[in-house]
Amino acid sequence: MNQADIENMIQSYMDAEKAVLEGKSIMFNGQSMTMESLSEIRKGRAYWERRLSELQAARKGRPMYKVARFP
């Protein structure tokens, strides 16, 4: 996926989150989402935001992983 596709997915998740917060029931990826689904919507948005960060980091020449250092 390219950056525009990923940004479109993030926007879709943000729109779904906003609609659910306003008390609406929506259809997203073929599933009915209500307030109980808010955590799933937020997980999906976080996933796509990570994908965007990884793509942008890869373009800057940074590795797509983080190194943990323990004392």
pLDDT score, position 47: 94
Q: Does the structure show a pLDDT above 70 at 65?
A: no
More confident residue, 20 or 11: 11
pLDDT score, position 69: 79
Q: What is the mean pLDDT of residues 20-38?
A: 75
pTM of the predicted protein model: 0.64
10: which residues sit within 8 A by CB, 6+ positions away?
45, 48, 49, 52
Tell me the average pLDDT of the chain.
82
